[in-house]
Amino acid sequence: MAIVKCGACGKQKSSKAPACPHCGFNPEGGLEQLEKHQAKKRRDSLHRQNMLQMFAVVILLVGGYMWWHGSGDPQSWQFQLGRFTLVAAILLYAYARGLSLWQKYFNKDK
C-alpha cells in the first residue's frame, strides 16, 4: 500500500482505496468521472457563494435594524454597532457578489 496524491483535490490517499476519502473522486472512473467531479465542485462553490450572499443580507437586516433603533443617539452602542454591521455586510455582499460574477464570466467552463 502506498500513499498517493488525489488527482482531483490534491490531498493524500491510499493507493488501495478506489475513491478519494476527501472528495470522493475515483481515478478509475476515467474522464467522465473527473468531469462529474468538477461539475460538483463548481456547484458546491456556487452554493457557498449563495450562502455567503444570504448571510450578508441577514447581517445587513440586523445591522439596519439596530442602526434604525439607535439612530436617535449617535453615541449609543446600537447606532455604532449597527453602522459597523452595515458596512461589514455591504463589504461582505460585494465580495460574495464579485466572486460569483468572476466565476460566471471568467471561469465559465474549465
The residues binding Zn ion (CB under 5 A) are: 6, 8-9, 20, 22-23, 25
Shortest reach from residue 23's CB to Zn ion, in Å? 3
Grid cell in block for residue 79: 447606532
Nearer to Zn ion, 29 or 64 (CB): 29
Nearer to Zn ion, 9 or 34 (CB): 9
Q: Is residue 37 within 8 Å of residue 25, measured between CB atoms?
A: yes
Nearer to Zn ion, 23 or 66 (CB): 23
Shortest reach from residue 9's CB to Zn ion, in Å? 3
Output the CA torsion 46→52→58→60 (10° steps): -120
Q: Which residues of 91-107 are buried (b: 16+ CB within 10 A; e: fewer)?
A: ebbeebeebbeeeeeee
Shortest reach from residue 15's CB to Zn ion, in Å? 13
